């Protein structure tokens, strides 16, 4: 599996099918319960549609990991898709 994690997009390629994933580097959490509700494309849609209900979290800033918990959650989600 090849992984390219960027501040804006994360790309993965690999697996037996040569799957390619390119999705936003973002997760969305419920603003009241702080529970992860979506990752990648779905997270971006939720945050844009209802910004008061969902809080966007990104693992990178200026090319450095600033939130390891968010990075772990996001990578697990993407790796399971490949």
Condensed to tens digits (0 to 9), the pLDDT of residues 4-59 reads 999 999 999 987 777 789 999 999 999 888 899 999 999 999 999 998 899 999 99
Residue 5: C-alpha distances to residues 26, 40, 61, 62, 64 (Å): 11, 12, 11, 12, 10
Quickly state the pLDDT bin for 82 (edges 50, 70, 90): confident
Quote the tokens at residue 35. Answer: 């529970």
Q: What is the pLDDT of residue 18?
A: 76
> The domain that contains 22 carries what CATH number?
3.30.420.40
Q: What is the pLDDT of residue 16?
A: 75
What is the total count of domains within the chain?
Answer: 1
Residue numbers of the domain that contains 50: 2-81
Answer yes or no: are the C-beta atoms of 56 and 7 closer than 8 Å: no
């Amino acid at each position: 599996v090849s992984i390219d994690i960027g501040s804006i997009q994360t790309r993965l390629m690999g697996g037996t099918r040569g799957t390619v994933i390119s999705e936003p580097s973002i997760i969305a959490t419920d603003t009241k319960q702080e529970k992860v509700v979506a990752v990648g494309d779905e997270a971006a849609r939720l945050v844009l549609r209802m910004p008061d209900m969902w809080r966007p979290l990104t693992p990178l800033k200026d090319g450095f990991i600033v939130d390891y918990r968010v990075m772990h959650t996001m990578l697990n989600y993407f790796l399971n898709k490949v």
